[in-house]
Amino acid sequence: MITLVARPAPSRFWAWATPVLAVLATMIAGGVLFAILGKDPVEAIRVIFWDPLFGANAGYFRGQLFIKAGPLILIAAGLAVGFRAGIWNIGAEGQYIVGALCGASVALAAYPAESVLVFPAMVLAGALGGWAWGMIPALLKTRFGASEILVSLMLVYVAQNLLAWAAFGPLKNPQGFGFPGSRNLQQYPSAHNADLVAGSGIHWGVMAGFAALIGTYVLMSRHIAGFRIQIAGDAPKAARFAGVAPARLVAFCLGLSGALAGLAGMFEVAGPSGQITDSFGAGYGFTAIIVAFLGRLNPIGILLAGLLMALTYIGGDMAQLMLQLPAAAIQVFQGMLLFFLLGLDLLTNYTVKWGWARA
């Protein structure tokens, strides 16, 4: 019989060891799954985790790793701040889409004028768009007590419809023969968010992701606002005595995570994606929630988690192509990672005792 005994304080060792353990457990369970599907498990794990980093053509894939991880890191950095305060923004996907729409609208309005002001204006518009979309659940929560979880999530669907409307309507490329989708911003030099060093995969969005990690680290560990956020999450009642105004905290957290998600969308539409299409939202906003938790809501953790998630995507596509593993098996594999992480999280707060517990 197994009993769980609560630890007096969460274990620092296990907080860092469980993610590593979860990855190892995922490799083993995933290997079993791949073996059942008739593939060589060792080769499959190698194709997913090793080849993109060190195999043939790794130079290309390392760059792709940053392209894929950039938006995840940028969004997760903002979400982690809110999650620490117990403010649950589940709608980063919607804020990402609206940020992209606002950024692209500015670029398309300026087209074809070439000016150094276009890109900064897009950055501003993207951040503002995401911020505004995040302020809707903030306002409804502080004024009417509506759950920010539900409101932010439902606003994702509104944003997706807005996106489809824009792609088929006002933002449609007038030279696109009636087909949906905007002009490609990659072909508009003033708006193009290109790799800073060609082929490196590092564009302004990735830099913004790094900056957001540093910024949120400073905020949480050196600034009074960070202390308030932390205490609001850990001890809401005590927070009131410490002078935390809940309404302002809600607005700050949802606004910040919204603005960062909006920025991520804007950098994506101006760079790797290039155009507004109805399928622009590829789920980064939802995956970033996993990244935030996988990274323990900690900046360094988020950086590593973002790169790890990107690796499973890139390696997963590689495994499909090279080994003809079905896409569903790759998704199950990614799901296992989250499952093991949350499951093993138990070890952080509890110790496991073998034998009969005394009643």
Shortest Å distance, C-beta 140 to other proteins: 27
Shortest Å distance, C-beta 228 to other proteins: 38
Distance of CA 252 to the CA centre of its chain: 19
4: β partners: 352
Asked if 101 is part of the footprint of other proteins (rule: CB under 8 A), the reply reads no
Which residue among 17, 146, 164, 332 contacts other proteins (CB under 8 A)? Answer: 164
Cα torsion for 146, 150, 154, 155, to the nearest 10°? 60
Q: Residue 214 is encoded by which pair of tokens? A: 């540093």
Q: Residue 37 is encoded by which pair of tokens? A: 């599907």
Q: Contacts with other proteins in 121-160 (CB under 8 A)?
A: none
Please give the Cα distance from 334 to 40 (Å, whole number).
18
Asked if 328 is part of the footprint of other proteins (rule: CB under 8 A), the reply reads yes
Total count of residues recorded for the chain:
359
Which residue among 30, 94, 181, 255 contacts other proteins (CB under 8 A)? Answer: 181
54-83 footprint of other proteins as x/- string (CB under 8 A): --xx--x---x--xx---------------
Asked if residue 162 lies in contact with residue 98, where contact means CB atoms within 8 angstroms, the answer is yes
Q: Contacts with other proteins in 235-294 (CB under 8 A)?
A: 268, 272-275, 277-280, 282
Please give the Cα distance from 334 to 72 (Å, whole number).
15
Q: Which stretch binds other proteins (CB under 8 A): 150-158, 171-179, 240-248, 346-354?
A: 171-179
Asked if 313 is part of the footprint of other proteins (rule: CB under 8 A), the reply reads yes
Shortest Å distance, C-beta 186 to other proteins: 8
- Could you list the beta-strand ranges (E) of the chain: 2-6, 350-354
Asked if 184 is part of the footprint of other proteins (rule: CB under 8 A), the reply reads yes
Shortest Å distance, C-beta 324 to other proteins: 6
Burial of 291 (0-12, 13-18, 19+ CB in 10 A): buried
Which residue among 180, 255, 301, 306 contacts other proteins (CB under 8 A)? Answer: 180
Q: Which CB atom, from 46 or from 348, has the smaller least distance to other proteins? A: 46
Asked if residue 135 lies in contact with residue 212, where contact means CB atoms within 8 angstroms, the answer is no
Asked if residue 261 lies in contact with residue 92, where contact means CB atoms within 8 angstroms, the answer is yes
Shortest Å distance, C-beta 144 to other proteins: 30
- Closest C-alpha among 176, 78, 186 to residue 127: 78
Q: Which CB atom, from 8 or from 175, has the smaller least distance to other proteins? A: 175
The angle, 0 to 180 degrees and rounded to 10, between the axes of the packed helices 284-294 and 299-323 is: 120
Shortest Å distance, C-beta 178 to other proteins: 4
Residues at the site binding other proteins, with contacts judged by CB under 8 A: 56-57, 60, 64, 67-68, 161, 164, 168-169, 177-181, 184, 186, 268, 272-275, 277-280, 282, 313-314, 317-318, 320-322, 324, 326-328
